[in-house]
Structure 1
Amino acid sequence: MRTLPHAIDIFRRYLYLILWLTAFIYFFDLSNQITGVDEDRINKPDRPLPSGKVTLAGAKKRWVVSLLAFLAITLYHPILLTETISWIIVVYFLEATSFGDHWFVKSCLAMGAGTWALLRGSWKAIAPLTPLAERYVLAMSLWTGLLTHIQDLRDIKGDAAIGRQTLPIAIGDSQSRWVITLSLMPVSLVGLWIGGILALAPVPIVGAHVFLGYRIIQKRGALYDHKTYMVSWSTLLVQSHSSFEP
């Protein structure tokens, strides 16, 4: 007799999570594209705004709707209010201030904090947050903050054109590749070890990092670097699947 109410509750929780994640991602994506038109004309000309598929005025209307929807979904079930407000603040500093143009704020702080909000909120929407889950979230947030610099390897031309100081621009393309591979990646692995994630699946996680490091040090053009960035997302998914099973 209790099975059906339990199943309905699980369905309700996952439906809420899907709605919240959709609003989370769409709000950021619109904010990023509205403020990054000049960069996208160089790095991603096929996006809706630089390609002319969507007008800037239309994108801004969608942005207002997405923000209101994000807040409405959260206020309907305010368990994720902290994560939602944190993400809105992060997006503001990242997209609407000059602080977001610096590599430390852009990648280390903003993307690390964004990952914290994303993973912590995803967990809380389904199950109570435990100390172990909090450790996992912090470890993954550190990992993301350190290795998000990988995406900037593909975007050097556009970032330089708008005056953004990403790590490859600040210290040089080749130097940044070695710094990411030989410094930031080992530190991120230590963070996964301390957080208890590395022990859950050491062989696939270490193997993914070795492969990722090999790709990072190759200089084969923006398309190759884009695929390397996709590999880093696959690595993130491997780690998330290993740890986030509430």
Structure 2
Amino acid sequence: MKKSREKFYDILIKTQLTTPLYLRTIWLFTYSDMKTIMFPQSIFGAITAYAACMFEQPHVSHGIVGWLLVRYPLALFWTWSNLLPFNIFNQLSEEAIEEDRINKHWRPLPSGMVSREKAASIMRKHYIFAIIVSSCIGGLRQTLSLIILGTWYNAGGGADRSFIVRNLINAAGILSFATGAMEVALGTRLLLTGPSTQWMSILASIIFTTVQTQDLYDMEGDSIRNRKTMPLVIGDTWTRWYTALMISIFSLVCPAYWSMRWYGFVLPFLLGVLISTRTLRWRTPEADKRTFQLWNAWLVSVYFLPVVRYLDLGC
């Protein structure tokens, strides 16, 4: 399977496809985060906007067809437009390029598809583009937040010096993607209400206490870059037990917060048990990568809870 993926990546790099080089380049910059940021957070935005009345937000009705065909694609586009410059920034340093030569040689910089200077130019242009997009369709506050967080994370040592700061930036960044996509899907500015503040605080707590799942499979690379991730600071075993415990707790707390019936507990709980079990029992990098993918699926199952409650109650 691993050889097949590497062959696929090599084909993407070497084969002259009908898509222009520029489009292939920006696609490869964001490819790794499609399943972790782009789709989960745009899905959050769309489904939470659909249940906006649960958060005392003004519900702008576009009709189900318009919502699916217009609002969600806009949320997806907004998420990608903000993800691209962050990804380039994250892959731009010499240390990142050297690390990618080992693990992700198909990316534009280690593969030689673009130079660092060209990548930096693309990054700056797309940060401007993201601001323009957000000014037109919504999510400007979140875009500005992502620029600040991305600079702190990639250039200010936020990713390297403390796992507490690293997790904090990750939580704030993921929520910025999620709420920005929600604002775009809703079609109006988000209001700071009690229910929305409480739910976003719970989600921030989930991400802050469990996002180190992504650090378990890359301890070797993080060690080379002297990053102070949780498993490297407090140890692999302690990190796994802590992560499994927090996932198990939130798998019950979140459905209980929404006063769900029994079926509202099923998916988050089963996924939580699966992830906790895998975290403790299967400890190879490949197994940890799959566990992190399941963590993203678990997070989406939590995102759906307000919608399930909305369908139960209406507004």
| Aligned CA distance change for structure 1 residues 106 and 190 (closer, same or farther; 3 Å) | farther
Q: Do 2:158 and 2:169's aligned partners in 1 also have CA atoms closer than 8 Å?
A: no
Paired-residue identity, %: 24
Aligned pairs, how many? 239
The alpha carbon displacement at 1:195 in A equals 4.8
Q: Does 1:26 align with 2:84?
A: yes
Q: Do 2:248 and 2:273's aligned partners in 1 also have CA atoms closer than 8 Å?
A: no
* SS, match of residue 98 in structure 1: coil
- Equivalence for 1:91: 150
Range that drifts further, 215-224 or 9-18:
9-18
- Equivalence for 1:196: 258
Q: Do 2:90 and 2:154's aligned partners in 1 also have CA atoms closer than 8 Å?
A: yes
RMSD over aligned Cα atoms: 2.7
4+ aligned runs moved over 6 Å, structure 1: 197-200
TM-score (norm. length: structure 1)? 0.84
TM-score (norm. length: structure 2)? 0.67
Q: Does 1:151 align with 2:211?
A: no
* SS, match of residue 208 in structure 2: helix
* SS, match of residue 51 in structure 1: coil
The alpha carbon displacement at 1:12 in A equals 4.9
Equivalent-residue separation in structure 2 for 1:41 and 1:194 (angstroms):
45
Q: Do 1:143 and 1:189's aligned partners in 2 also have CA atoms closer than 8 Å?
A: no
Q: Do 2:215 and 2:231's aligned partners in 1 also have CA atoms closer than 8 Å?
A: yes
Q: Do 1:198 and 1:205's aligned partners in 2 also have CA atoms closer than 8 Å?
A: no
* SS, match of residue 240 in structure 2: helix
* SS, match of residue 138 in structure 1: helix
Give 1:1-246 correspondences, 5 Å limit. 6=62, 10=67, 12-35=70-93, 36-77=96-137, 79-101=138-160, 102-107=162-167, 109-127=168-186, 129=190, 131-182=194-245, 184-186=246-248, 188-189=250-251, 192=254, 195-196=257-258, 201-243=264-306
Q: Do 1:83 and 1:118's aligned partners in 2 also have CA atoms closer than 8 Å?
A: yes
Task: Show structure 1 runs of 5+ residues with no match.
Answer: none
Counterpart of 1:185, as a letter, is: I
Range that drifts further, 44-53 or 117-126:
44-53
* SS, match of residue 217 in structure 1: helix
The structure showing larger relative contact order (alpha-carbon pairs under 8 Å, at least 6 residues apart) is: 2
| Aligned CA distance change for structure 1 residues 186 and 165 (closer, same or farther; 3 Å) | same
Equivalent-residue separation in structure 2 for 1:118 and 1:110 (angstroms):
12
* SS, match of residue 106 in structure 2: coil
Q: Do 1:135 and 1:195's aligned partners in 2 also have CA atoms closer than 8 Å?
A: no
